[in-house]
Amino acid sequence: MYEIKLSPRLAAVAEFVGKGSVADIGTDHALLPICLVERGHSRALASDINEGPCQRARTNIYAHGLHSKIKVVCCPGLDAVDEFAPDNIVIAGMGGEMITSILAASEYPKRSHCRLVLQPQSMQDVLRRYLCESGFCIDRETVVFDGGKYYQVIAARHDGEVRELCEYEYKLGRLNLARAAKSPAEADIGWLKAQRASAQRRIMGRSETCDDTPEQARDRQLVCEIDKILKKVE
């Protein structure tokens, strides 16, 4: 048996998982559920829509002697979670729109009040907007640098209360911004600078083709809010 070593991105995801059982949606090699069960989580579901990743998951799970504690299911989205009834659902490494569509297709996250740990690769604003409008409370966020890229990790739980954020908070995360303004880590500063640079490029690109647009206005506000934070911490 070999030791599982999670990437910084998956290590940050693992840190957000609460007590109890966990379902890893889009598991691929099942590294995350293996690591979590070895750390003491009661049981896990490793789910993927394709048979190839499921077979890789089974191979790794058997290599670690955890086939009695980790169930592998080949199915779309959250189709297997009702029967498994996990305390935590992890969806990592997909676009924000895809994660949103997976969550919206199932009533389990709302009905069970399970903990969601989400790591969108893109379209974070789409995902946060869905969570806020659908009665999920975002209770923890972080930013991690891994392989030359910055990733956001979001944890949420359904409480039925509809919330509304500013446009830049949907994109960057209210809790991320609060942490960066108060006690930023190195990843926070680098991430904010990268977000600022991207917004500036979008502003300049649109300036060549048309007058001020709603998208430009949102990006200008995003740059302004980032500048306020960077001015405090630098």
Which tens digits make up the pLDDT trace of 60-98? 999 999 999 999 999 999 999 999 999 999 999 999 999
Instruction: Provide the pairing of β-strand 70-74 with 44-48.
Output: parallel
146 and 108 in one domain? yes
User: Which pLDDT belongs to residue 2?
Assistant: 67
| Single-letter residue type at 35 | C
Which of 164, 192, 214 is at the close of a domain?
164
Residue in this structure with the two tokens 């209360």, named with its chain if needed = 161
Write out pLDDT tens, residues 156-209: 999 999 999 999 999 999 999 999 999 999 999 999 999 999 999 998 886 655
Closest Cα partner for 195 from 234, 159, 162, 229?
229
What pLDDT was estimated at residue 212?
73
Whether residue 197 sits in one domain with residue 92:
no
- The pair of three-digit structure tokens given for residue 204, joined into one six-digit string: 């300049």
- Taking only the tens place, the pLDDT of each residue in 2-47 is 678 899 999 999 999 999 999 999 998 999 999 999 999 999 999 9
Distance between CA atoms of 105 and 212, rounded to whole angstroms? 37
Quick one: pLDDT at residue 48? 97
**Do 156 and 197 reside in the same domain of the chain?**
no
Q: Which amino acid makes up residue 58?
A: R
130 and 205 in a single domain? The answer is no
Using the structure block, give the residue that is written with the tokens 């069960």: 37
Confidence of residue 211 (pLDDT cuts 50, 70, 90): low
Residue 17: which CATH number? 3.40.50.150
Task: Write the CA distances from 225 to 53, 86, 209, integer angstroms.
Answer: 41, 38, 25
In a domain, 177, yes or no: no
1 domain-assigned:
no
Greater model confidence, 227 or 3: 227
| CA separation, residue 137 to residues 21, 52, 90, 133, 234 (Å) | 20, 35, 16, 10, 31
Q: Which residues form the domain of 224? A: 182-233
pLDDT in the model for residue 205: 80
In terms of domains, do 83 and 135 share one? yes
Confidence check: pLDDT of 117 > 90 = yes
Domain count, the chain: 2
Q: Indicate whether 154 and 212 sit together in one domain.
A: no
The pLDDT score that the predictor gives to residue 1 is 58
What are the backbone angles phi and psi of residue 74, rounded to the nearest 5°?
-95, 105
Q: Which of 205, 53, 23 is nearest to 115 (CA)?
A: 23
* Average of per-residue pLDDT across 118-137: 98
Q: Is residue 221 part of a domain?
A: yes
Assign 232 a pLDDT band (cuts: 50, 70, 90).
confident
Same domain, 41 and 145: yes
